[in-house]
Structure 1
Amino acid sequence: MRTGFIIGICVIILALIMLMIIGSNTRSGGGRAEESRLRPGMATYSSRDKAPFGSYVPFKVMENFFQGTKPKTVTRSFAKTYASTSGLKGQNNAYIIVAEHLWLTEADAQAMSSYVQDGNKLFLAIEETDSLLESTFGFKVKEETPVPAPLVLINKISRDSIVTQHFSNPHFGADTTFTARGITLNGHLASPDSGIITILGTNERHQPNFFRVPHGNGQLIVMLNPMTWTNYFLLKKNNIRALELQMAYLPEFPHNVYWDEFYKHLYGPQRDDFSDWQVLLKHPSLRWALILALVLLLLYILFESKRRQRLIPPKPVLANTSLDFAETLGRLYYLHHNNSNLANKMTQHLLEYIRQNYYLNTSAISTEFVTALSRKSGQPREFIEQLMNMVMEVKLAGNISDEQLQHYYNSIYLFYLKAK
């Protein structure tokens, strides 16, 4: 009971510490949760995040664009997914990545190239591209860094900025401009007049930020304004149509649709030893759950590993009852001074002891008997022979002196003492 109480107290203390940490991380400077989430670098683009800059809304409505085909969530890098998923090696598939930065490895870029060349479409809604991606598919993106603002103005800038997205396809109709308050992203295509790349949309400066790159039998589609994939943007006015216009460039009846949940949780280039454990640790909730599980396991080992069963008392060493009997019998008969009777009783007990412990026939004491008893009792043959001679003398003698009785008693006592 005491151990369980201690573990319970430890769990409560850890839970309180975690709540304090989580509360301090989510506490905003002005006391308004939504305003604190409208800061650069706070976009998660996660399909489970219902916050303003999460992507819960587009993920839930996406299957409506593909005639009931539900997107499959991917939590590994593109290279690993492409190597282990047979569906990606076919045709007419759609793979969607919404992230802040696309940190690729050479294996990822090569796998993406093979995937698109086979006749599939890769849709990227990202704030910043990757040099490997640009060199693989033959385009260049230019980033315009805005003038740094004081920290005290960051909240005001993020709330007052207007995100604007234009779509260039004339078949979409006249009303193809969508706006909402949020974070303005200024990345755009550096060489829009290449003759190969198709411009699909522009930002508020009329710079191309939504374009399509043909590659083999497939296409790479890049949207440099992932704000149009956030809950905050799509739930304003009729902005859900901005998502519909982007989905129009993907197949209506794809074989498979994949939604990435890997690259949006990367905060730096991948390493060669990058594993699924590192992805797991990048999720705060999963990281804290893992830490809590390890702490509880440590507490369990610390307290429950102690022995809970009562100690078993030591078992006393078995005493030689024959030795005790001989002592008691000697004292009893010695008081009556009947030496002959006492010697006979001692002889009977000795022979009974030999029969029960060494399984020897005591009716005839011979040379073979002496040899066998010496071997089984582990005592010298000379001693056994002298003892048996005294046994025969006691049986034949009518009177026994005190000295003879004392010597006989000492010999028997020594035999019991050294018997094995």
Structure 2
Amino acid sequence: MDKKSKIALYAIGAVIVLMMLAEITKPKALNWRDSYTAVDKIPLGCYVLFNELKNISDKPIKISNKTAFENLKDVETDKKTVSLFINNGIHFDKQDSESLIKYVENGNSVFISTNYMYGVLSDTLNIRIGSDYNNFFKKPSLNSFTSPNLKPNERQFNDVIENSFFTSLDTLNAVALGTSKVEKTEKIINDTIPDTNINFIKVPFGNKNGAFFIHTNPFAFSNYHMLNQNEAYAATVLSFLPKHQIIWDSYYKSGRKVISSPLRFVLQNQALKWAFYIALLSLILFVIFRGKRTQRIIPVVEPLKNATVDFTRTIGDLYYQHGNFTNIITNKIQYFLEQIRTKYYLNTNELGDHFISKLAIKSSNKKEDTKALIDYIVYLKSKSNHTEADLIQLNKLIESFTKHTA
């Protein structure tokens, strides 16, 4: 590898390292994605809520990383528990819904806080959750409780919220526990949705004091609102739940980590990801430089010998050794004139002044030098015997002519 290639490679490596350092050290943008997981400290995570539950609960909190069907079949039937499901959207399939219903029938409780829910469970409880997209989907709302004694704990949610409420419920079984109120700033024709709507209910189920608690404002339990003086509202909502051991759901979460391979786990961790990239780059550079240093020696291949040159030299030596200068001069003159005919397309039968002028012009030689050569050739052709001096002089004139040929 030459010096310029090495400098270019080092420069590229330095740029890559600087880009990595800039990427690692640059400030991270605030992540506003929905998560609701217990480990996420982003605004819409539930890190604060989960740790507060651990502090106030008498019993250790169980964490479920499975579906409701898989998790609840392992729950002990003689111990009462309450399962918490908090996410922006929750969907239970038929097996999950049947497991939850059976779980509540055995005297346990289920708390669900979500913006939308559908499926078998919704049909069984005869409830529907919706939003008024025309008026107050994301407008400030006052979340309060139906009990006058809990009025001090109501809160106004001004931002980071989606106002969902019950559009239909079973009034014979469902008990309204809380409402949300939004002031409409403009009137819409045929608008039948009132300003105040129910957003928190209790649905008793079975004969063993089990119940479903359905809440439509999961944002209230996020880190953002828990750290912005709205924690009293979240605590009041959860105070309606029985004091049983809590099962925290980590499966039905928008921010649930799905790891199917070790490489995916590495790439999802910022520090491990950059360590992997640096190790990969180092391996590539090692292969490049190591490969260059350990390459086997390339053998030198001798070019093929020009047998024609050797043959010509041998013939020339024979002529010279026998002293036959006339024959050598004759052949040399014939070869020279053949070159002129082939290269300059000139007739060499008449070597007069006209021929000399044309040859000088086409060969880019001086006319005097060209005339000296042609005159000497004519002189040699007129002689019957030649000497070594004649051959040497002819050779000098031809070499001088050829050297200046265009």
Please report the TM-score for the alignment, with normalisation by the length of structure 1. Answer: 0.52
CA contact (8 A) 2:37 2:250 kept: yes
**Corresponding residue of 1:244:** 235
Deviation at 1:282, TM superposition (A): 10
Identical pairs, percent:
20
Describe the superposition over 1:73-115 as per-residue Cα deviations: whole angstroms up to 9, x where unpaired. 33333233334xx336554111112111113333322322232
**Pair 1:234–1:277, CA change in 2 (3 A):** closer
Q: Does 1:137 align with 2:103?
A: no
- How far apart in 2 are the matches of 1:122 and 1:249? 11
Please name the residue that 1:178 is paired with.
155
Question: What is the aligned partner in structure 1 of residue 82 from structure 2?
Answer: 94
Q: Report the equivalent of 1:264.
A: 253
CA 1:142/1:13 → structure 2, altered by over 3 Å: closer, same or farther?
same
Q: Does 1:48 align with 2:30?
A: no
Amino acid at match of 2:250: E
User: How big is the shift at 1:130?
Assistant: 2.3
Instruction: Find out whether 1:232 has 2:224 as its counterpart.
Output: yes
- Residue-by-residue CA offset, 1:103-159 (whole Å, 9 max, x unaligned): 3333322322232222211111111112333024332223322359xxxxxxxx96x
CA pair 279-135 structure 1, distance change in 2 beyond 3 A: farther
How far apart, CA to CA, are the structure 1 residues paired with 2:141 and 2:262? Answer: 32
Gap change, CA 1:227 and 1:265, over 3 Å in 2: closer
- Pick one of 59, 63, 71 that aligns with 1:73: 63
Q: Counterpart of 2:120 in structure 1: which amino acid?
A: L
Corresponding residue for residue 354 of structure 1: none
Structure 1 pair 14–189 and aligned structure 2 pair: CA distance change class (3 A)? same
1:169, distance to aligned residue in structure 2 (A): 3.0
Counterpart Cα distance in 2 of 1:63 and 1:280: 31
Task: Assess, with a 3 A threshold, how the Cα gap between structure 1 residues 292 and 73 changes in structure 2: closer, same or farther.
Answer: farther
1:202 Cα deviation (Å)? 0.6
| Contact 1:66–1:251 (Cα < 8 Å) also in 2 | no
3-state SS of the aligned residue for 2:87? Answer: strand
2:220 is paired with a residue whose SS is: helix
2:103 corresponds to 1:115: yes
TM alignment of 1:265-304, pairs within 5 A: 265=254, 276-277=258-259, 286=268
Q: 1:181 to 1:174 in 2, by over 3 A?
A: closer
Contact 1:212–1:220, Cα closer than 8 Å, also in 2: yes
Aligned match for 2:212, one of 214, 217, 220: 220
Pair 9,224 (structure 1): closer, same or farther in 2 beyond 3 Å = same
Distance 2:168 2:56 in 1: 31
CA deviation string 1:362-383 (max 9, x = no partner): xxxxxxxxxxxxxxxxxxxxxx
Mapped partners of 2:72, 2:276: distance in 1: 33
The one-character-per-residue Cα deviations of 1:45-86 (angstroms, maximum 9, x if unpaired) are: 23333344332222221134433x232333333233334xx3
List runs of 5+ in structure 2 lacking aligned partners. 1-5, 182-194, 297-406
Deviation at 1:194, TM superposition (A): 2.2
CA contact (8 A) 2:37 2:255 kept: no
Q: Provide the residue aligned with 1:377 in structure 2.
A: none
| Cross-structure match for 1:169 | 147
What amino acid maps onto 2:249 in structure 1?
D
Shift, 1:298, TM fit: 5.6
Q: 1:223 deviation in Å?
A: 0.7
Q: Between Structure 1 and Structure 2, how many residues are aligned?
A: 272
In structure 2, do the counterparts of structure 1 residues 288 and 235 end up closer, same or farther at CA, with 3 Å as the change threshold?
closer
2:240 partner amino acid: Y
The residue identity in structure 2 corresponding to 1:286 is Q
Structure 1, residues 3-23: CA drift from partner, whole Å, max 9, x if none? xx99x9798467458549x86
Distance 1:281 1:57, change over 3 A: farther
**Residue matched to 2:369:** none
Equivalent AA in structure 2 for residue 223 of structure 1: H
Indicate if the aligned counterparts of 2:126 and 2:170 stay in contact, CA closer than 8 A: no
For residues 169 and 109 of structure 1, do their structure 2 counterparts lie closer, same or farther at Cα, with a shift above 3 Å needed?
same
Counterpart CA distance in 2 for 1:279 and 1:202 is: 45
Question: AA paired with 2:225?
Answer: F
Equivalent residue for 1:57?
48
What is the root-mean-square deviation of aligned Cα atoms in Å?
A: 4.4
Distance 2:102 2:270 in 1: 38
Alpha carbons of structure 1 residues 76 and 17: separation in structure 2 relative to 1, 3 Å? farther
Q: Distance in 2 between matches of 1:193 and 1:122?
A: 17
Q: Deviations over 1:162-189 (max 9, x none)?
A: 232111135x444342113214433222
> Which aligned pairs between 1:353-372 and structure 2 lie closer than 5 A?
none
Q: Which runs of 5+ in 1 are unaligned?
A: 27-32, 149-156, 268-274, 314-420
Deviation at 1:295, TM superposition (A): 5.1
Question: 2:115 is paired with a residue of what secondary structure?
Answer: strand
